[in-house]
């Protein structure tokens, strides 16, 4: 797995987008803040989005005044890999490195 999923914020953004399909940046930020029950620094949040777009895991398009984000196929594949790993850990299945 690449380092991009080592950030909890990146993982959570991917889960939110997998659920919604696509979201404007501000709505995505609001949903994440509601989940964390904490305010997220805008500079840090938008930096995370930009890094994920640059890495090919998110796409962005402009709709009026808003940037709208969605998972790419690569982002969805990594998210599914991570979900499978978390599920196997929670379910207590043996890992391949044991």
pTM for the structure as a whole:
0.80
Q: Is 75 left (phi over 0), alpha (psi -120 to 50) or beta?
A: alpha
CATH label of the domain that carries residue 37: 1.10.10.10
Residue 95 placed within a domain = no
As for how many domains the chain has, the answer is 1
Residue 97 placed within a domain = no
Per-residue burial over 42-65, b = 16 or more CB atoms within 10 Å of its CB, e = otherwise: eeebeebbeebbebebbbeeeeee
pLDDT in tens, 33-82: 999 999 999 999 999 999 999 989 999 999 999 999 999 999 999 889 88
Residue 18 placed within a domain = yes
Residue 80 placed within a domain = yes
Give me the domain span that covers residue 31. Answer: 3-90
Q: Contact 58/23 with Cβ under 8 angstroms? A: no
**What pLDDT does residue 6 have?**
63
The residues, any chain, with a CB within 8 Å of residue 63's CB and separated by 6 or more, are 24
Residue 55 placed within a domain = yes
Largest separation between any pair of C-alpha atoms in the chain = 52
């Amino acid at each position: 797995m690449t380092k991009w999923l080592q950030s909890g914020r990146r993982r959570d953004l991917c889960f939110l987008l997998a659920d919604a399909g696509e979201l404007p940046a501000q709505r995505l930020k609001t949903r994440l803040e509601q989940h964390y029950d904490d305010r997220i620094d805008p500079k840090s949040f938008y930096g995370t989005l930009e890094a994920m777009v640059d890495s090919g895991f998110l796409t962005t398009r402009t709709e009026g005044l808003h940037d709208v984000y969605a998972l790419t196929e690569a982002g969805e594949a990594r998210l599914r890999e991570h979900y499978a790993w978390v599920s196997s850990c929670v379910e207590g299945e043996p890992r391949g490195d044991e």
